[in-house]
Amino acid sequence: INGAAAEQVADGLTQAGYIATSVAVDVTSPDSTRAMADAAVAAFGRLDGLINNAGGMVRRVPYAEVSEQDYDEIMDLNARSVIVASQAAIAPLKSAGGGFIINTTSIAARNGASGGAGMYGSSKAFVHNVTRGMAKELIPFGIRVNAVAPGVIETPFHERYSTPAPTTRGATGRA
């Protein structure tokens, strides 16, 4: 969602009687990501939860051709952003007496993805395992950490990167 669309959603919620705000964030920038948590606390007085949903394939590239730049861009977007945003949220969540963190992974984290999408799948597998570790560390503070791994959802992401492929269950599968 772009900044103008986010502001429109926040305005609509405000007009409907809710408290809402939008914050432009570049999740590949740790400083910008940390500022997001600060902005949420400033707007609402507390933080009840965090949903780490930013991510993307960046580009298809076979493992044999992955450059340092490819690695950094894919891991910064899909993995580092989860760590940084979660770190920024932990103190406010503890102050609120608990809350939740939800991380979005991918079916590619389980199946290794397809041609050229391996780095994306690997970065999402990282998120899957980070979720397990965070859950263990943060539950004593009343902070629940879970992950969702959606299947194929017809979005611009899949329009750009996926091709239909049959699965063993007869449904359409995509990487």
Phi, psi of 125 (to 5 degrees): -65, -35
Contact call for residues 47 and 66 (beta carbons, < 8 A)? no
Catalytic residues, by residue number, are: 120
Q: Tell me the sheet residues that pair with 89.
A: none
Phi, psi of 142 (to 5 degrees): 75, 20
How far is Cα 26 from Cα 18, in angstroms, rounded to an integer?
A: 25
Residues composing the chain: 175
Q: Is 18 helix (H, G, I), strand (E, B) or coil?
A: coil
Tokens read off for 38: 């600060």
Tokens read off for 46: 């507390």
Closest CA to 106 of 156, 31, 54: 54
How far is Cα 156 from Cα 175, in angstroms, rounded to an integer?
A: 14
Tokens read off for 166: 């049959």
